[in-house]
A and B are shown apart, each in its own frame.
Chain A
Amino acid sequence: MAIVETRKLTKVFKQGQPGAVNHVDLETREGEFLVFLGPSGSGKTTLLRMIAGLETPTSGEILIGGNVVNHLPPRERRIAMVFQSYALYPHLTVYQNIVFPLKAQKVKKELHKQKVEWASALLGIGRLLDRKPRELSGGERQRVALARAIVREPSVFLLDEPLSNLDAKLRASAREELEQFQKRVGTTTIYVTHDQVEAMAMGDRVVVLNQGTVRQIGTPQEVYDQPADTFVATFLGSPPMNLLETDDLIVGFRPERFLPSGLVAGSGSTDEIASRMKTEHLLLADVGKRVPLRFRVEYIEYLGAERILYGALEGGRFPGKAVASRIPSGVTERYEANSVHDFIVPESELKFFDRASEKRVAPKAIPWQ
């Protein structure tokens, strides 16, 4: 096990063009599950490939276990990597695939069988050892790739979107399995994904990347609740945070905090509220000061567990601004296209960003009319 650290790590593919990765400083913790999250082209895979030694950095340093490894080829970095396509060797059986790194690293022959059996038992693929990769399902391939990665007991795992080739249902179970597996072996893991749900669900900490720079590093809760800038605020969450621009500020609030005023404690008698909801808990407990907004609903997405209302603000300081609201299924209130409703946002839920730098700033009082 080891700590991975990057110092001012930069990769420029074409001279004169903006770098794919720019001055990235980060440090994993021992045994941590660290997720690189970003849209495609954000440099997350390039960053991972530099740590693996598959790309040469333009400048900056990479440290694994406290040693600079810039000059080391991938095979000497004591890492294991799982690729998006799994990269199983098509001409070899599952057994031969798993034993491949042991042979390549010249591990003693007597140990091969025992180690392959250990790794395949850990992932429950003992009965597949004689098959060829093309005879396996997507989930089985992914496990073989993982078994091949752990068999030599690396000090760091690098995973490059390993779940993106699975169908939605399998992805959810594979996600849980992978997470538990990581906890069990306790190896420091770096996981690249563009899927915010994966990042939030699996990561001990999340590194949000955009255009080759780190926008924020923090626990899933920190990046969601205290986004460092408007990019992080809008990249996480679905639908993204509603943003309203003023002269020098951008004000943001999450769709799930933008709610019908009648359904929030303190806006009517408790009985009245309870009677309007099927589930008998309040959407928001008494939240203190709130900002009232008129909301014209334009269309509605019904998603089962919730409804998402898309529309625009009416009157006030931000007429016509597009916003969205997430209403949990407990709320039975009917909404129709082109109806106007009174909504509120608790003032404590407002996020403020500087308009020029787009960085988050301390809350301020702003006029709403």
Chain B
Amino acid sequence: MVSGTGRRVFGGLVHALVLMAFSVLLAFPFYWMLITIFKRTNDLYNLQNNPFKFNEKPTLEHLQLLFHDTLYLRWVANTAFVGAIVVLITLVLAVPAAYALARLTGRWGERLGIAIFLTYLVPPTLLFIPLSRLVAILGLQDSLWSLIVVYPSFTVPFSIWLLMGFFKSIPRELEDAAMVDGLTRFGAFVKLVVPISVSGILTVVIFSFTLVTQEFVYALTFISSEAHQMVGVGVPIFLVRGDVYYWGSLMAACLITSLPIALLYNLFLDRFIAGFTVGAVK
């Protein structure tokens, strides 16, 4: 009895310690960004100072620089705009394609699915040269639309592949039942398959959006003017001048951009995991 209680206390302790270690590890970047935003430049560069706390009074000068002297908000808006449209295009193309590949075409469907996934593996660093030619032919240089046209080339294949797994896990009998119950195949798809696959579709939305915010090579090569930058390119270009790093403003840009996505992930964490582990059980 005593040893049992002892073991339980010990187990609880280990549990708490492990959790604490991971929390510290994961929260540290956010703490580092936050404290850097409000530190005075002298404080940041003085090697004698304790880097983990404020050695001088906090300041808002870095935030002022970010919001007044750069087009940061414009870049965020550009990114949100491109992200939203790319997500939309991805859903419109990937959901029906994945369903068709999962259900209607048998053995060749699977091979085609793998082939489509392989295109996702071709790196943008190889593709940006021929694609920049295409962008020029389309007359989309220095326009956000160039990115909207190019980004689905990697969000769509990945999403198709992800959703195929999802649709395959839905028993065919469910659709048969819906068709006997009075729906067409398309009706069964809209009223049954889509609602059941909500977590997969949500995963596609979050994942495509994250890919868009992270992408660097295309955004760097296709966009030139300051007003048209995506946040991931605009921030390093305009806040790193020569060998001068505007650390406080850089950290502010990073924190403000990453927080919404981090919150979104947390909010849908369970469904997100379901999206990636589908087919693992059962």
Which stretch, B17-25, B47-55, B182-190, touches the partner chain A? B182-190
**Chain B 178-215 near chain A by CB (<8 Å), digits 1 or 0:** 11111110010001100110100000000000000000
Which residue of A has the minimal Cβ distance to B176?
A54
In contact, A84 and B181 (Cβ under 8 angstroms): no
User: Residues of A contacting B178 with CB < 8 Å?
Assistant: 89, 100, 104
Partner of A84, one of B173, B174, B198: B173
Q: Is the interface of A mostly helix, strand, loop or mixed?
A: loop
Instruction: Output the least CB separation between A49 and chain B (Å).
Output: 8
Which stretch, A16-24, A72-80, A227-235, A246-254, touches the partner chain B? A72-80
Bound: A81/B184 CA distance, A: 16
Q: Given the known inter-chain contacts A89-B192, A90-B196, A91-B195, please indicate yes or no for A73 contacting B174, CB distance below 8 A.
A: no
Number of interface residues of A (CB under 8 A): 24
User: Residues of B contacting A83 with CB < 8 Å?
Assistant: 173, 176-177
Summed over the interface, the residue pairs from A and B with CB atoms below 8 Å come to a total of 61
In contact, A104 and B182 (Cβ under 8 angstroms): yes
Which residue of A has the minimal Cβ distance to B171?
A85
CB of A330 closer than 8 Å to a CB of B: no
**Chain B 160-181 near chain A by CB (<8 Å), digits 1 or 0:** 0000000000010110111111
User: Residues of B contacting A104 with CB < 8 Å?
Assistant: 178, 181-183, 187, 191
Instruction: Output the least CB separation between A51 and chain B (Å).
Output: 11
**Chain B 209-228 near chain A by CB (<8 Å), digits 1 or 0:** 00000000000000000000
**Chain B 16-41 near chain A by CB (<8 Å), digits 1 or 0:** 00000000000000000000000000
User: Residues of A contacting B195 with CB < 8 Å?
Assistant: 91
CB of A351 closer than 8 Å to a CB of B: no
In contact, A81 and B192 (Cβ under 8 angstroms): no
In contact, B180 and A75 (Cβ under 8 angstroms): yes
In contact, A81 and B176 (Cβ under 8 angstroms): yes
Of A54, A105, A148, most buried by chain B (CB within 10 Å of CB) is A54
Number of interface residues of B (CB under 8 A): 18
CB of A68 closer than 8 Å to a CB of B: no
Instruction: Output the least CB separation between A336 and chain B (Å).
Output: 48
Partner of A75, one of B173, B184, B191, B196: B184
Instruction: Output the least CB separation between B93 and chain A (Å).
Output: 24
Instruction: Output the least CB separation between A164 and chain B (Å).
Output: 13
Listed by A's residue number, 16 A-B pairs whose Cβ atoms lie within 8 Å are A49-B176, A53-B179, A53-B180, A54-B176, A54-B180, A81-B177, A83-B176, A87-B177, A89-B174, A89-B196, A91-B195, A100-B178, A104-B178, A104-B181, A148-B181, A152-B182
Q: Apart from A73-B179, A80-B181, A83-B173, list 12 A-B contacts with CB within 8 A.
A: A54-B176, A73-B184, A75-B179, A75-B182, A79-B180, A81-B176, A83-B177, A87-B171, A90-B196, A100-B178, A101-B181, A105-B181
